Each structure stands twice: as structure tokens, then as C-alpha cells.
Amino acid sequence: MKKITKDLLIAAPIAVGGALYSASRLLYSYAFNRSDIVPEPGKDIIGYANDYYYYIDWLNEQKHAEHWRLVSKDKKEELNAVWVPAKHHSKFSVLISHGYKGNGVTMANLAQMYHFMGFNVLLPDSRGHGDTSDPYISFGWLDHYDALAWLNMMIKRVGPESKVFVHGVSMGGATALMLAGEDLPPQVKGIIDDCGYSSLNEELVYLARKVTKLPVEPVRRLMSKINKVRTGFSFDAVSSVKQLKKAKVPIFVIHGADDDYVPTYMAYQNYNAITTPKKIWIVPNAGHAMAFWVDPREYHKQVTSFIKSTL
């Protein structure tokens, strides 16, 4: 009996550890494996579906749009973007970074907004999305390094007199915020973040507590170790707040007051970390990534005002 008890005491932690690891791998695959199917509009945006597809159709009709290719700095990944040049020659350009499980085309609404403002527009597919070769989603971390290369291509195309902005939504918002902490070309004049998270650790813990009864912290640590092996970085590295403390350009933070996917308090965490000229707009009655759809005219007005303030 004593031997059986001792064996159970040894086996139980091993069994629990194995179960947690299996669960962590399963959750990692669900969250981080690429998806080649762009989801239909979610329940929040379903009321705006006609408008959403109107913008998609508009983008597809842009006959002068170009498909750009980029090989990642580590020479491992092929990246894709759509370039929509301004109707007339313009020194103004914007890189628009899309959200989780989307692609560049899903930012057609913002592409049209900027196009009508006279901007050249670049719509990259983030890693693990759209027409890229990466099998894993990096939640903006590797994407923010890729964005530096895209920016250099944009500036080369338009010229050294370029005035460039970066606008990101959701995961793309975090991409833009993390980009702000890098050594940016002087042509970059401002960053616009729409509902980006403050840190990957905090975002994953927040979501995990909503969808699972598993012990969150050990699962997060195991997922981070899996990610380190597969993509080369741990979750601890991925922080908008840390990057924002190094920012040198003006930043505009937009967030829905009713966001329950990236909670609104993260907007204030990001905003409070910024030491450069900054602006925040918490949009009433807007859920996650819904600020534009709730009030597109006010969205355009707020973005235009911010851009003018940086020039």
C-alpha cells in the first residue's frame, strides 16, 4: 500500500503536467496557427455588412493598385502588400496594419478614407495571414519589424520628401504602437492606434480567463515556451507599453468604450506610457474595432485633426 501511495504521489504531478502541456499546445495551435480563411463580419459589425462589402468592392476596383512583395529580414518569409497610389502625385502615405485573422484587404474602409484624403496607401498582410508564407501569427511583434522594411519601400517609391503615417487596428494597432519604439525614418510623422493591446501577456491572460477554466498562468508560460521554439520570441518581449516609452513621434490612441476583447483600460495603459505629443479618443458605444463603423464621419474628423497637428 505504501508503495502504491508513493507511486501515485509521483505520477499525479506528471499526469497533471502532461495534461497542462497538451492543453497549452492545443490553445497555442488555436490562437497562433495561421488561418487562410478570413472570417465573415462578426456580430458587432454585422449591421454594417453592406458598408463593409462596399469598401471591399471599392478596393478591388482600384485599377492602379499594385501588389508588392518583400522578403523578411531573416530571409525566411515572403510578405505581401497592396499599394494603392493616390489619384494625383502625393507626398503623403499611410501604412495600414490589419487585425487578428484578417488581411490587408479587410482594411478597405480605412484605405478609402485615406485615398480620398489624397494619400498613397499600403495594405500589408501580417505574418500568418493572407498571402504570406509564415505558418504562425506573431500578434504584431515580428510584424512591427516587417513594417520598418515596408516603410523604407514606401519612402523609396514616393521620395525623401515623403510624409508617412502608420494606422493599425486591433492586432495591427499593437503593431503600430510597437513600431513607434523603433528607430524610425524621419519621414514618419505619426502613429494612429485603434484598439491595440498593452502587452501580449496581459491580453492572453484576459482572454483565457473568459474562455477556459484551466489555471491560466502555467498555461501562459507553457505557450510562451512553445512560441519561443517556433517563432524565436517569448511573450514577455511583446509589449506596446515598453515600446511606447521609447517613442519619438506623436501618437493617437483610439479605443471603443465598450470593447470587451481588448479591454478599454489597455488604451489608458498605452496612452500613459507615451511621452511624445499624444491624443486619446474613447469612442462611446463602440465595441472592439468598431470605432470607425459607429461614426465614420467623426472618425475621419479625429484622424484628420491629429494628422494636421503633427505637420
Residue 71 pLDDT greater than 70, yes or no: yes
Cell of 62: 482600384
Side-chain half-sphere exposure of 186, counting CA atoms within 13 A: 3
Cell (9 digits) for 231:
517563432
pLDDT (tens digit per residue) in 120-143:
999 999 999 988 888 999 999 999
What pLDDT does residue 40 have? Answer: 64
297 CB-near residues (< 8 Å, 6+ apart):
none
Contact assessment for residue 103 and residue 134, using Cβ atoms and an 8 Å cutoff? no
Q: Look at residue 209 in the predicted model and tell me its pLDDT.
A: 84
Q: What is the largest CA-CA distance in the chain?
A: 85
Residue 242: pLDDT over 50: yes
| pTM to 2 decimal places | 0.90
DSSP state of 40: P
pLDDT one-digit tens code per residue, 143-166: 999 999 999 999 999 999 999 999
Neighbour order of strands in the sheet with 120-124: 66-71, 78-84, 120-124, 92-97, 163-169, 188-194, 251-256, 278-283
Q: How confident is the model at residue 9 (pLDDT cuts 50, 70, 90)?
A: very low
Q: Are strands 92-97 and 78-84 parallel, antiparallel or unpaired?
A: unpaired
Encode pLDDT of 91-123 as tens digits: 999 999 999 999 999 999 999 999 999 999 999
Residue boundaries of the structural domains of the chain: 62-198+239-310
Which CATH fold topology does 62-198+239-310 show? Rossmann fold (3.40.50)
Exposed (0-12), middle (13-18) or buried (19+): which is 119, by Cβ within 10 Å?
buried
